[in-house]
Every structure is written in structure tokens, then in C-alpha cells.
């Protein structure tokens, strides 16, 4: 069985981008909600700061989407390399 690289990349992009968006919006609404998660992500994504602002939610969502896209594509490609018949 092989993964469809494009489909997994898009699925990962949507899920991780949505996770960043939901966590950022929840943090805007409820103050400390998800603060440590967002601080961890700010240490991974340059230019993203875990401050409570709409601009940071947008930046985090973009970073999450791009990160999910690349991560999903790399995962699918690597899986397909190891799952080749006769490998």
C-alpha cells in the first residue's frame, strides 16, 4: 500500500493549521488557555510570539499550515520509500 503524498500533505496542513487556529482563538477568548502550547510553538516557529493578538493567531495558523504540509509530504514520501515491494 502506498500513501497519496499530495492528499496526506493537504490533510496534515489542514489539521495542523486548524489546531493552531483553534488554540490561538481559544487563548484570545479564555486568557491562559493553551498558553504553554503556544509558547512551545513560539520556540519552534521564528517570528511567531505567543502574545494574545489576532495577528499572532494568523501567523501561527500560517506556520502550522505550512509545517503540516511539509511534514505530511515528507512522511508520505518516506513511508512510500520504505513500503516499496522488494525493498
Cα end-to-end distance, the chain, whole Å: 13
pLDDT per residue, tens digit, the chain (87 aa), is: 899 999 999 999 999 999 999 999 999 999 899 999 999 999 999 999 999 999 999 999 999 999 999 999 999 999 999 997 765
pLDDT at 84: 79
Which triple of cell numbers denotes residue 68?
503540516
Q: What are the cell numbers at 61?
A: 495558523
| DSSP-based three-state secondary structure for 10 | helix
> Which cell is 76 given?
508520505
Q: Given this model, what pLDDT does residue 9 score?
A: 98
Q: Tell me, what's the pLDDT at 87?
A: 57
73 φ/ψ sector (left φ>0, alpha ψ -120 to 50, else beta): alpha
pLDDT value for 1:
86
Q: How far is CA 44 from CA 13, 35, 39, 74, in A?
A: 17, 14, 9, 18
Indicate whether this model's pTM tops 0.85. yes
Amino acid at each position: 500500500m502506498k500513501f497519496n503524498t499530495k492528499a496526506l500533505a493537504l490533510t496534515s496542513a489542514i489539521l495542523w493549521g486548524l489546531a493552531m487556529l483553534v488554540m490561538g482563538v481559544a487563548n484570545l477568548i479564555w486568557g491562559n488557555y493553551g498558553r504553554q502550547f503556544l509558547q512551545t510553538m513560539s520556540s519552534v516557529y521564528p517570528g511567531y510570539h505567543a502574545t494574545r493578538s489576532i495577528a499572532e493567531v494568523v501567523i501561527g495558523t500560517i506556520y502550522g499550515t505550512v509545517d503540516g504540509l511539509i511534514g505530511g509530504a515528507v512522511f508520505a514520501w518516506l513511508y512510500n520509500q520504505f513500503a516499496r515491494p522488494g525493498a
